[in-house]
Amino acid sequence: MSPSLLAKSYLFLYNVFQFIAWTISLWSILWNSASTDKSAIHGGAYDSAGGLIYLIQGLAILEVGHAAVGLVPSGVLLGLMQWGGRTHFLFAIVRRITEIHELPAICITFVAWCTSEIIRYSHYALTGIGMCPSWLTYLRYTAFIFLYPIGVGPGEMWAMYQALPFIKKENLYSNLFNKVFFSYHSFVMVLLAIYPFLWLKLYLHLFKQRRTKLVKRNTKKEA
């Protein structure tokens, strides 16, 4: 097998794995909500899909490596920013503070993540083998317009804000932050203040991608 074919096969399998895992996560949230008396928006989301989402979000660091070695034409910095933001939120805050697990913000975050990733990874997998339908390409570069703000605003940022009292009460990560002149509580407050600006940079980049990809698709269709 040639190196090029090997790389394509690896990327296809990786994207299919992520697509299946995010689909299972969303299905678990919806199924748990439909089959129990606890709605997904009030606790079922974390209980039913939290463990799997930890795994697949952690594995997504591979995508930064893919960009770094040239397997995909993505930017390393933007990819690292997105992975780092999500991973910090998930592992440093959500996993440590059980009091926020049943908040609606966690459900909103998980559902927005799952939906966007199902679309993204299915598009990557089918594009890699030259079988991506035009409607999926359009969906890939359109759905983010509403999914991204929902996941960040009433999702991640609201959950972090609601976690602040518990972070302060438990003096979270004090052993680490005792070495500097501020606490983790202060760090999260500053992060919340700059989060909209970091998010806007990624959001505008996605709009730039959308113009490029959809114009290219329309140009090919006309040709």
Catalytic residue (choose from 141, 156, 184, 195): 156
Question: What's the pLDDT band for 88 if we cut at 50, 70, 90?
Answer: very high
pLDDT at 205 over 80: yes
Distance CA 179, CA 213 (A): 47
Distance CA 116, CA 45 (A): 16
Cα-based distances in Å from 2 to 6, 14, 67, 92, 198: 6, 18, 20, 41, 40
Domain count, the chain: 1
Q: What is the pTM of this model?
A: 0.90
pLDDT at 187: 94
Evaluate whether 2 touches 105 at the Cβ level (below 8 Å): no
Range of the domain at 31: 3-222
pLDDT at 33: 80
Active site residue 222: no
pLDDT at 221: 57
Catalytic residue (choose from 10, 54, 148, 203): 148
Active site residue 148: yes
User: Could you report the per-residue pLDDT of 139-169, keeping only the tens digit for each?
Assistant: 999 999 999 999 999 999 999 999 999 999 9
User: Could you report the per-residue pLDDT of 42-74, keeping only the tens digit for each?
Assistant: 567 898 999 999 999 999 999 999 999 989 988
Question: What's the pLDDT band for 180 if we cut at 50, 70, 90?
Answer: confident
Distance CA 74, CA 80 (A): 11
